[in-house]
Amino acid sequence: MVFKRWSHVGGKLVGVKPEGVLDEIDTWTLVGDNLYLGGQPLEGLPAHVDVIVNVDNVRQYHIPEDVLYVQYSFDDIDMLPEMRKLWRIAELINNLRSGGSTVYVHCRLGLNRSALLAALCLLDGGQVNVVEWLRQVRDSYVLSNETFEQYVRAFARAMVEEGMRQNA
């Protein structure tokens, strides 16, 4: 986990990072068209969310009646989750987004597990500089789980190489 201790304060996640630095990040961030990435939305959801995808093993908030809720939890450890399932969820999210639905993907803090899933959604949409983009718009600690980061970078490299082969 990125924060040693953390809490929700006024729409922000506030915590102490491993090097002892106090930091805060927004509870959620818009990272793509109709795609929010974030932590547990204890103080409310982003406006106009149609779908919540929770990859945490807990839910500590109310789900509005008109919101579709999907949960597929996995651990933030140095091992990938069942990637075939996660890619299918990313495809589902992108189908919902292309149909006009706004999707909120979250885990506890919105930095590793949900960032992995959001990265797959962006990769599936053709974006290749996903790690840098998510770190720029969300937090420098996004995908600090090296196993998750390496997977995303390797997949992005393969996409670029395949594109170069097709254009040759």
Task: State mean pLDDT over 96-110.
Answer: 96
Question: Is it the case that residue 125 has pLDDT exceeding 60?
Answer: yes
> Taking all residues of the chain, what is their mean pLDDT, rounded to a whole number?
90
Q: What share of the chain is helix, strand, coil (3-state, %, to 5)?
A: 35, 20, 45
Task: State mean pLDDT over 137-154.
Answer: 95
pLDDT in tens, 55-85: 999 998 999 999 999 999 999 999 999 999 9
The CATH number of the domain covering residues in 27-167: 3.90.190.10
> Considering the entire predicted model, what is its pTM?
0.91
Task: State mean pLDDT over 3-19.
Answer: 72
pLDDT in tens, 108-123: 989 999 999 999 999 9
d(CA 42, CA 73) in angstroms, rounded, equals 18
pLDDT of residue 168: 54
d(CA 101, CA 108) in angstroms, rounded, equals 23
Task: State mean pLDDT over 47-54.
Answer: 96
The percentage of the chain sitting over the pLDDT mark of 70, rounded to a whole number, equals 93
